Amino acid sequence: MNIGEYRYELKKTLTEGCSEDSAREITEIIDILLCHHLDIPRNRLYLKLEENVPSTLPANMSDSLGQIAMGVPVQYVMGSCWFYGREIKVGPGVFIPRADTEILAQAAIKAIPKDGCFADICSGSGCISAAVASERPDVRGFALELSRKAIPYTEENLKDLPNVTVKRFDALDTEDYEALVTANGKQFDLVLSNPPYIPTDDISSLDANVLSEPETALDGGEDGLRFYREITRHLPIILSPEGVICYEVGIGQAEDVSAILKAAGFSVAVLRDLHGIDRVVLGKKS
């Protein structure tokens, strides 16, 4: 059997009786896993369809598909995903980067001045810091993360970027902000954050694959705004008077986060993602 025939049989078996949307999602997962186990980029899959199925492929695919059926995200199964053109290592205990977050990375890359410094609070996998540091080698920054399970991924994803320092950091602890400024030697030109922003009571209703991710990376408190309030409250400590704050926000949160920043004396701008959803809120002192 060649790879094309094997792929067809898999899709036929797994999509039987599924809705059109579910069948499309399953088809996408099959192709992602095939490329992963064949160790090829997606654009080369069609060039491999006439080749014989490697002996190890069926067992590897069966194991991967079994994990996904149990609710394990496909990114955890593969051990990585792509963000801003870079492969980012992920696994249980670290939040999986989303494509929408590239809007935040892009905003940060544009906002930080030449030879500036940034602080990435709630860094998780370090994907945003990696994007900023690789696109702007003139700048330096700190990738700040509290979770001991996530930090090994942060370090792994930033190991080839000497202009970023990984530091354990509690976004709710004033002493950590003070220690950060001491470590940097001055306040920051840019503070950015994609913090937990799901309201606590909404977490139980999330999709099973999202619930496989660490709850600490999801839970934004009673109204989902706890971290925005706390980080903003601490900005006078870490953000320079001419600096910029960039937040990613959840659906419907841009107005509330803008209000938090305005109350703290910031003028704000809002950026939309590719779906037209308000996704990033930027603030600068009025």
Domain boundaries of the chain, sorted by first residue: 3-70, 84-285
**Which of helix, strand or coil describes residue 85?**
coil
User: Which pLDDT belongs to residue 225?
Assistant: 92
Whole-number Å distance between alpha carbons of 155 and 3? 37
Which pLDDT does position 206 carry in this prediction? 65
What CA–CA distance (Å, rounded) separates 118 from 103? 17
* pLDDT value at 22 more than 80: yes
Whether 47 shows a pLDDT value over 90: the answer reads yes
The candidate with the shortest Cα–Cα distance to 92, out of 113, 70, 108, 109, is: 70
User: What percent of the chain stands above pLDDT 90?
Assistant: 81
| Most distant pair of Cα atoms in the chain: their distance | 66
Closest CA to 227 of 176, 269, 188, 171: 171
Report whether pLDDT(71) > 90. Answer: no
The angle formed by the CA atoms of residues 218, 221 and 225, to the nearest 5 degrees, is: 90
- pLDDT digit string, tens, across residues 137-184: 999 999 999 999 999 999 999 999 999 999 999 999 999 999 999 999
Question: Is 90 exceeded by the pLDDT of residue 253?
Answer: yes
Q: Which two tokens stand for residue 193?
A: 């954050």
Packing angle between helix 254-263 and helix 226-238, nearest 10 degrees?
A: 30
21-25, 136-140, 221-225: the lowest-pLDDT one:
221-225
231 confidence band (pLDDT: 50, 70, 90): very high
The CATH homologous superfamily for domain 84-285 is Vaccinia Virus protein VP39 (3.40.50.150)
Percent of the chain whose pLDDT exceeds 70: 93
pLDDT at residue 52 greater than cutoff 80: yes
Would you state the pLDDT for residue 207?
A: 67
CB 214 within 8 A of CB 93: yes
Determine how many CB atoms are found less than 10 A away from the CB of residue 48: 15
Instruction: Give the pLDDT confidence score for residue 210 in this predicted structure.
Output: 64
Q: Strand, coil or helix: what is 225?
A: coil
Decide: helix, strand or coil at residue 271.
strand
> Which residue did the predictor score with more confidence, 70 or 199?
70
CA angle 238, 242, 247 (to 5 degrees): 60
Q: What is the pLDDT of residues 183-221, one digit of tens each?
A: 999 999 999 999 987 777 666 766 656 656 666 766 667
Residue 103 has pLDDT above 60, yes or no: yes
Q: What is the mean pLDDT of the chain?
A: 92
